[in-house]
Amino acid sequence: MAHRPVDPNQSFPDLEQEVLQRWRERDVFRESLRRRQGAEPWVFYEGPPTANGRPGAHHVLARVFKDIYPRFKTMRGHYVERKAGWDTHGLPVEIAVQKKLGIENKKEIEEYGIAEFNRQCRESVFEYLEEWDALTERIGFWIDLGDAYRTLDATYIESVWWALRQIYDKGLLYEGHKVVPYCPGCGTALSSHEVALAYRTVKDPSVYVRFPVVEDGGPLQRGDELLVWTTTPWTLVSNAAVAVDPELTYVRAKTGPLEAPVVLAEALVERVLGCDDVKVLERFPGAAIDGVRYEPPFSYIPGREYGERGHSVLLGDFVTADDGTGLVHTAIAFGEDDFQLGWRYGLNVVNPVRLDGTYDERIGKYAGRFVKDADADLVEDLRARGKLLKSEEYEHAYPFCWRSGDPLLYYAKPAWYIKTSQLRDRLLAANDSVNWHPEHIKAGRMGNWLENNVDWALSRERYWGTPLPVWRCEEGHLHCVGSFDELEELSGVRLEDPHRPYVDEVGFPCPSCSGRMQRVPEVIDVWFDSGAMPFAQHHAPFENAERFGARFPADFICEALDQTRGWFYSLLAISTLLFDRSSYENVVCLGLILDKDARKMSKSVGNVVDPWTVIDEYGADAFRWYFFTAKQPWDGYQFDTERVGDGVRFFLKQLWSTYSFYVLYANANAIEEPPAEPGTELEAWILSRLGDATETVTRGLDEYDTTTAGRAIAAFVGDLSNWYVRRSRRRFWDGDPAAFGTLRECLLTVAKLLAPFAPFVADELYDNLDGSEPSVHLCDWPAPRPRDLDLERDMAVARETVRLGLSARTAAKVKVRQPLREAVVVAAGRERDAIEALADVVREELNVKELRFVERADELGSYEIKPNYRTLGPRFGKHMPAVAEAVGSLDPAIVADALREGRHIGVSVGGTDHEVGPDDLHLRLEPLEGYQLEREASHAVALDLSLDDDLRREGLAREVVHAVQNARKAAGLAVEDRIALTLGGDGELLDAARTHEAYVSGETLAVEVAYDGDGKGEPATIEGLELRIALTRA
């Protein structure tokens, strides 16, 4: 037998296991690379996941999109290397280890020992590696896991050091004193993307505090009170100054309950003081009170410590009158604006808060308390001392540490930065060269982010990460080490493991003075690690410089939308810093997966989908197919496992049963490799449609649009199964080579088109139908067959005719099994030609003896003429209503005739004559009452419903055949089994069967038919008459 028999009820998950086994045995992935060695590379970069957690459905999403395009490009002839990668450093890893060890903070880590702590991190990072590898293989994501880059490898780290040295040499790496979001629990500053992870809406105190003016100045007098608003009372102890907007109008106002006049923005008087009893004494711009001195709310830190302008009014352009009082409390160490303002006025940074988030000894009785917890007592203190105007609650979004859950403090700290803001224009230019999918990311999300670029806060005061390769001596001289060789030259030490704590122990003499250099304590942001992968994965430039050069930039990367600020940015920033260009050309940006009720998947809600359950139930192909075709991936998914099942039922099963149909009859007819030459119009048509599908799929994948591409495959398979095969079954029973050749060609091409989408089922089809290569994935992408557009259009008309005819049958309640004498088709010109050319198909499908054409439907209905707005609109513009009216008043019969002959029609609009052609008008048939007629536009089908005895007998014969077929099926016979048939029962039925005995025996594969079956066999009922059917395998 030429083909393996196919189980029509094949389980796809089982099938996939077999295919996986075949891929392993035949080493298909590596072979697909070997065959393209030397071909033009198409470069893919893997954005490294972290393997310290279980992979979820969203990882499957990313990984199947990372798979489909490399498979496609490989089939298109490119050499597509796929090097895997793992992100291994960072706080999440440390947190996991801390949890495991029961360690709460940095102090305890150091007591535990950095060496052992980092050893545990190194282990933990690959805790779920096996599951990642297993899932990766199971979903058919072809990537070289054996040659994965890992950010913890010494070679990788050395490349990162090289990159930092380049940046340092350009003067773009610096230590700054900046206000950063700081987590007192983790003891580290957070990057902006970490901050973004956990904003929560919280209620904080909202207090209005009175700051008495201590000397007359401008419009103010000693004793007046500045009204200052804040939501962080804990920062009031280090109040350094008050900021006002120089342009904004302020007032000095007297209000009933208060003795002294108060100062605030005019726009906020009503909201802050209430509307009653307020007397405005003065109005003046903020600039008028520049320099006014006041008494701070707490006296722990004397004004002189801040410098000349301590505890005075400063001018700041960030002040608004949207909230508060228009006078802004400024605490230099705890806010970016505050810090900037202080810097401009030369104020000193005084920070009375320790790294653990508690006040230091300068803050008297509050010393040692966690600052956020002191809010309430501080407010009480103010109230007791008569400094408070009022205190409320304020609801706003406040950032928390995404790991520890502690509230973040904005905090002035020394940190290392990369001066990316200096390269803003270059970053924008690099971004401009990228093709984003979807397109709006470029100018939108990514573009906006780059426009507002701030320097990259690079350093982390942590342990498990790439050490910042900066050494410093006691004099403050700096040296950035760019390689292990250099470090060895300087220090005489060759590092086995460049991680902390070993690297911390390496010191060397300062090149500039007599001091000794030690490394600064920080490690770097993990995003710098992953962003360095284009060269670091190859240990370039130390090794493989050429290899790197040939694989830079990437043609394609793909990650979820949240990487805009993550990997997409770090890749872009690093390559712009080093090479002044983007490291990628095409990006597919995937949306988030929500559950079926559109809620975000989270462990706490318990709605996380375990990918294995989906794969076990429906298979990897189905899972992939869902992601590729359910919708455009960037809009995100409302994931419902049942939708995955739909794809199996309506697409994969349909394809599978078409395939099993082929194999069944090809084997039955001993057909092996039939020629793909069309024998009929129907075959020419399906091959033309195949060309169409090939073009659409190719274009779709070229444009990173799997949705359109995949849906085109499904549409084609629908046509193949529901029209071509359905209308051609007899030819397969008869063993017609052209039919087999056509269907095989279609299935094999579908297998190739489908290979990147559903690599398992595609390979199974290919292997069983052709198999000349070890796998479909080693084949070339199919070239589109030539189209026959006229034929495609004709077939559409014929199918429409059939639809109308069937509809007419339904309306007349006449079964399709009952043959009818004639269908009257109203059609002319090209439509008529089309239907005539495909008359056999139409007749068979409608089960009518004849098609009769009428050009004019006068006896069936009347025409109505409608203007074609699409063509006439642009021509006539605002005269369209008049045109529509003119068209409406034409004589339909005359117009119909004229159009049929292709003549133009004259219409008069506003006294001017115009000509309109056939394309400018739509004809629409209005049926007369009393006719059984189905119509669409100018095209209609009517049925002759009169029956004579012959037709009736023929109908009954078909009923008999139908009943016998059911009996065959019930008896469990194979489709090719011959039978001996014995019929009995009602005389009219037997008479019909006898009359059409050749037909009956041919259809039912009966080698003999007897009519003496009364009382024998299984009873069946046809139109109320009894039929007895007895059959045996002959």
3-state class (DSSP) for residue 483: coil
Please choose, out of 283-291, 492-500, 607-615, 961-969, the segment that lies near RNA by the rule CB under 7 A: 961-969
Q: Does 870 bind RNA (CB under 7 A)?
A: yes
Q: What is the DSSP letter of 171?
A: T
- In the complex, the smallest distance separating the C-beta of residue 555 from RNA, rounded to whole angstroms, is 24
- For residue 266, how far is the Cα from the chain centroid? 49
Return the ∠ at Cα 648 (arms to 644 and 650), rounded to 5°.
Answer: 110
Q: Which of 111, 276, 322, 496 binds RNA (CB under 7 A)?
A: 322
Instruction: Write down the least CB distance from residue 968 to RNA, Å.
Output: 7
Report which of 635, 601, 760 is spatially closest to residue 56, judged by C-alpha positions: 601
Measured CA to CA, the distance from residue 993 to residue 997 in angstroms comes to 5
Q: Determine if 1027 is a binding residue for RNA (CB under 7 A).
A: no
Instruction: Give whichever of 345 and 637 is closer to RNA, judged by the CB atom.
Output: 637
Q: Which stretches of 76-219 are DSSP H helices?
A: 91-101, 106-112, 114-124, 129-138, 154-169, 192-195
Q: What is the DSSP string of 901-938?
A: TT--EEEEETTEEEEE-GGGEEEEEEEPTT--EEEETT
CB of 88 to RNA, least distance (A): 22
Beta strands in 893-1024 (DSSP E): 905-909, 912-916, 921-927, 933-936, 939-944, 979-985, 1006-1010, 1018-1022
Contact 379, 393 (CB under 8 A): no
State the Cα–Cα distance between residues 687 and 261, nearest whole angstrom: 90
Figure out which of the listed residues 174, 284, 300, 398 binds RNA, where binding follows CB under 7 A.
398
Binding window for RNA (CB under 7 A); candidates: 29-37, 542-550, 729-737, 1016-1024:
729-737
Write down the least CB distance from residue 5 to RNA, Å: 12
The pair of structure tokens assigned to 620 is: 């990897």
Kindly write out the interface string for residues 691-710 of this chain, putting x where it contacts RNA by CB under 7 A and - elsewhere. ----------------x---
Restricted to residues 976-995, the positions that interact with RNA (CB under 7 A) are 976
Binding window for RNA (CB under 7 A); candidates: 287-295, 447-455, 521-529, 904-912: 447-455
Bridge partners of 598, per DSSP, are: none
Considering only 16, 87, 225, 338, the residue that binds RNA (CB under 7 A) is: 338
Which of these segments, 317-325, 571-579, 691-699, 941-949, binds RNA (CB under 7 A)? 317-325
- For the chain, the straight-line distance linking the first and the last C-alpha, in angstroms and rounded, comes to 23
Nearer to RNA among residue 149 and residue 400 (C-beta): 400
Minimal distance in Å, beta carbon 256 to RNA? 25
266 touches RNA by CB under 7 A: no
Give catalytic status of residue 563 as yes or no: yes
User: Can you tell me which of 17, 391, 657, 667 binds RNA, judged by CB under 7 A?
Assistant: 657
Using CB under 7 A as the binding rule, the residues of this chain from 732 to 751 that contact RNA are: 733
Name which of residues 174 to 203 contact RNA (CB under 7 A). 181, 192-193, 195-197, 199
Active site residue 600: yes
Residue with tokens 């201590």: 214
Q: Residue 766 and residue 23: Cα distance in Å, rounded?
A: 13
Rule CB under 7 A: is residue 650 a binding residue for RNA? yes
CB of 131 to RNA, least distance (A): 25
- Is the Cβ of residue 449 or residue 502 nearer to RNA in the bound state? 449
The verdict on 764 binding RNA (CB under 7 A) reads no
**Subset of 563-602 contacting RNA (CB under 7 A):** 564-565, 592, 596, 598, 600
Q: Does 406 bind RNA (CB under 7 A)?
A: no
Q: Name which position in 45, 128, 229, 628 contacts RNA (CB under 7 A).
A: 229
Q: Which stretch binds RNA (CB under 7 A): 269-277, 390-398, 482-490, 983-991?
A: 390-398
- Tracing tokens 């950095």 back to the chain, one arrives at 114
Name which of 132 and 665 has its Cβ closer to RNA. 665
For RNA, which residue of 186, 207, 243, 430 counts as binding (CB under 7 A)? 243
Q: Please select the residue that binds RNA; options are 48, 140, 498, 636, rule is CB under 7 A.
A: 636
Do 603 and 560 contact (CB within 8 A), yes or no? no
| Smallest distance, RNA to C-beta of residue 81, A | 31
Q: Which is nearer to RNA, 372 or 653 (CB)?
A: 653
* CA dist., res. 401 & res. 409, Å (int): 10
Tell me the H-state helices in 327-423: 336-344, 375-384
Q: Which of 346, 881, 906, 910 binds RNA (CB under 7 A)?
A: 881
Q: Which of 55, 326, 469, 619 binds RNA (CB under 7 A)?
A: 326
- Give the span between the Cα atoms of 545 and 159, in whole angstroms: 11
Rounded to whole angstroms, what are the CA distances from 749 to 469, 743, 884?
55, 10, 48
From the list 37, 322, 597, 603, the catalytic residue is: 603
- The tokens of 728 are what? 């051609």
Of 602 and 613, nearer to RNA (C-beta) is 602
Stretch that binds RNA, among 150-158, 525-533, 685-693, 997-1005 (CB under 7 A): 997-1005
CB of 335 to RNA, least distance (A): 4
Q: Which is nearer to RNA, 862 or 965 (CB)?
A: 965
Contact between 929 and RNA by CB under 7 A: the answer reads no
Tell me: does residue 803 bind RNA (CB under 7 A).
yes
Is residue 643 a contact point for RNA (CB under 7 A)?
A: yes
Q: Residue 573 in contact with residue 590, Cβ under 8 Å?
A: no
At closest approach, how far in Å is the CB of 270 from RNA? Answer: 16
Are 1001 and 1007 in contact by the 8 Å Cβ rule? The answer is yes
Residue pair 375/233 in contact by the 8 Å Cβ criterion:
yes
Instruction: Determine, following the binding rule CB under 7 A, whether residue 862 of this chain makes contact with RNA.
Output: no
415, β-bridge pairs: 176
Closest to RNA by CB, 535 or 863: 863
Contact of 799 with 792, CB cutoff 8 Å = no
Identify the active-site residue in 563, 678, 723, 867: 563
Distances (CA, A) of 207 to 230, 272, 382, 395, 645: 6, 11, 10, 13, 57
Count of residues touching RNA (by CB under 7 A): 113
Residue 814 burial (CB count, 10 A): 17
The answer to the question of residue 8 lying near RNA (CB under 7 A) is yes
- Of 806-825, binders to RNA (CB under 7 A) are 806-807, 809-810, 813, 815-817
Stretch that binds RNA, among 30-38, 108-116, 448-456, 760-768 (CB under 7 A): 448-456
646 binds RNA (CB under 7 A): yes
Q: Ramachandran region of residue 63, left (φ > 0), alpha (ψ -120 to 50) or beta? A: alpha
Q: Is 416 a catalytic residue?
A: no
Structure tokens at 433: 């060269």
Active site residue 23: no
Examine residue 660 and tell whether it contacts RNA (CB under 7 A). yes
Catalytic residue from among 567, 634, 723, 781: 567
Let me know if 221 is a catalytic residue.
no
- Would you count residue 449 as binding RNA (CB under 7 A)? yes
For position 1025 contacting RNA by CB under 7 A, the verdict is: no
Helix (H, G, I), strand (E, B) or coil at 180: strand
402 is catalytic: no
1024 CB-near residues (< 8 Å, 6+ apart): none
**3-class SS letters over 583-652:** CEEEEEEECCEEECCCCECCCCCCCCCCHHHHHHHHCHHHHHHHHHHCCCHHHCEEECHHHHHHHHHHHH
Contacts of 839 (CB under 8 A, 6+ apart): 851
How far apart are CB 869 and RNA at their closest, in Å?
Answer: 3
603 catalytic, yes or no?
Answer: yes
Among candidate residues 527, 656, 685, 723, the one labeled active-site is: 527
Q: Which residues carry out catalysis?
A: 48, 87, 527, 563, 567, 600, 603
